[in-house]
Amino acid sequence: MTILAAFPDGFLWGTASSSYQVEGDNRNSQWWRFEQQPGAITGDQRSGLACDWWRDAEQDFDRMAELRLSACRLSVEWSRVEPAPGRFDAAALDRYRQMLAALHARGIAPWVALHHFSNPLWFEQAGGWESSAAVKRWLPYVHAVISALGDLCADWLTFNEPLVYLGQGWIRGRWPPRKQSPRAALSVFRNLLKAHALAYHAIHDLCPSAHVGCAKALRMVQPLRASSPGDRFAAWLRRYLFDELWLQATTNGALYPPLGFGHGDALLRNTCDFLGVNYYCRLWTRFSPDPRLLFGREQFKDNAETSDCGSRGPYSQYDPDGLRAICMDLRRYGKPIYVLENGLPDADDDQRPRWLLAHLLSLHRAIRAGADVRGYFHWTLVDNFEWDEGWNLRFGLFELDPRTQQRRPRPSATLYRQIAGSNVITAALLEQVAPSLLA
């Protein structure tokens, strides 16, 4: 048997999800209210029961065990835990304890995010993340969750993709609160960063041995024309604003401009025990004189292979080498790296097996070259409600009919089981599933 890629001992294999996308009936969330607005979701679709995890997540935990997975990334829904200011729902916290215990019983380590794009309605009505009191309102929730669940989870994420959340809600204006305000976006950025840092310290105060970080969307932004100074500037600006600012702040405490924190701020410095990477595709930019576009227009290269997103979304272009490049770039921070999201929308599963293998081979090249990558989480196990795209984008290893809640494994589920169960990728597997990659 010819082994092309052997992953390190103890390497984590998992899938990732978020509470709003899988639990169902999250009626106290700002996303539920957003869904009710005509035109907010493609085709005016509704999340409904989603994947019905609130009533029966365990059926999918069984599927994870069948795939031989060792980790599961999920999130806690703030709107369930704290349905009103200062009122914590013991039954909701008990349900999350049941979920985490069920994962442990199957030999699967939970990785829990405290925030994945969803807020309680009362928080939104009080000004949300724009408010100067946002962080003060957030911390009691953090304490309640860690106090209730800390003994069942060693690995925590404060936020999922904070800059995506900011960009979609306050720059592009596609997600709630549907604003286009750089001034408000700056306030949100400062509050999210401070909320992350204070949550990091709170978690370690309550659980000193915890492993705490953040899931950061990274896209290795590149100039469309390497010879163009304008394209290079537009790419640099995007990488700095959406990647470097957060990473520098949470590793060495540096923020330029200081944004009220100052250089080397002790509150921010070393507030990540690992670097969490969410990678879907590389981003290319072409210079534009419009400052509202950050002096660049995003586009794909000509003749690029795209997923079911086509040319309209952030999950589109086939570029597995971007994952290797990101992991190599992150070595400078000296932190362990976990790929916390990677996948594509592919309803008929005709691309996913090859894309999965290509990205894992690219990841293995980074590991061989010295990147300290310790785990990979595929997005996602079962088709879920994809925010403003509704049910149109199908990311699951298992196909879901949201009306009947019936699941059907796609061929890529079997492939992922073979990889996770053996911790290797063989030449025979490539020849069987994606012979074009052997070259």
pLDDT, one tens digit per residue, over 168-187 is 999 999 999 999 999 999 99
- Angle of helix 90-105 relative to helix 134-149, nearest 10 degrees, comes to 50
* Distance separating alpha carbons of residues 199 and 134, to the nearest angstrom: 13
Q: Is the pLDDT of residue 366 over 70?
A: yes
Lowest mean pLDDT among 156-160, 167-171, 197-201, 256-260: 256-260
- Res 292: pLDDT: 82
* Distance separating alpha carbons of residues 123 and 304, to the nearest angstrom: 42
Q: Is the pLDDT of residue 264 over 60?
A: no
**How far is C-alpha 319 from the chain's CA centre?**
18
* Distance separating alpha carbons of residues 108 and 15, to the nearest angstrom: 11
For 155-168, what is the mean pLDDT? Answer: 98
Per domain, the residue ranges of the chain are 3-438
Pick the CATH number of 3-438 from 3.20.20.80, 2.60.40.10, 3.30.499.10, 3.40.190.10: 3.20.20.80
Query: 328-355 pLDDT, tens per residue?
Result: 999 999 999 999 999 999 999 999 999 9
Question: pLDDT grade, residue 20 (50/70/90)?
Answer: very high
Lowest mean pLDDT among 232-246, 269-283, 303-317: 303-317
Cα–Cα distances (Å) from 217 to 104, 163, 164, 339, 431, in that order, read: 28, 8, 7, 10, 32
Q: What is the mean pLDDT of the chain?
A: 95
Place of tokens 């390190």: 8
Question: pLDDT grade, residue 256 (50/70/90)?
Answer: low
For 81-97, what is the mean pLDDT? Answer: 98
Query: 382-403 pLDDT, tens per residue?
Result: 999 999 999 999 999 999 999 9
Q: What pTM, to 2 d.p., does this model score?
A: 0.97
Transcribe 96-113 into DSSP letters: HHHHHHHHHHTT-EEEEE
CA proximity to 64, closest of 16, 97, 20 = 16
Question: pLDDT grade, residue 300 (50/70/90)?
Answer: confident
- Res 260: pLDDT: 59
Query: 30-88 pLDDT, tens per residue?
Result: 999 999 999 999 999 999 999 999 999 999 999 999 999 999 999 999 999 999 999 99
* Distance separating alpha carbons of residues 327 and 1, to the nearest angstrom: 28
Q: Is the pLDDT of residue 361 over 80?
A: yes
Percentages helix, strand, coil for the chain (3-state, rounded to 5) are: 45, 20, 40
Q: Is the pLDDT of residue 276 over 80?
A: yes
For 410-437, what is the mean pLDDT? Answer: 97
> Token digits for 79?
């709107």
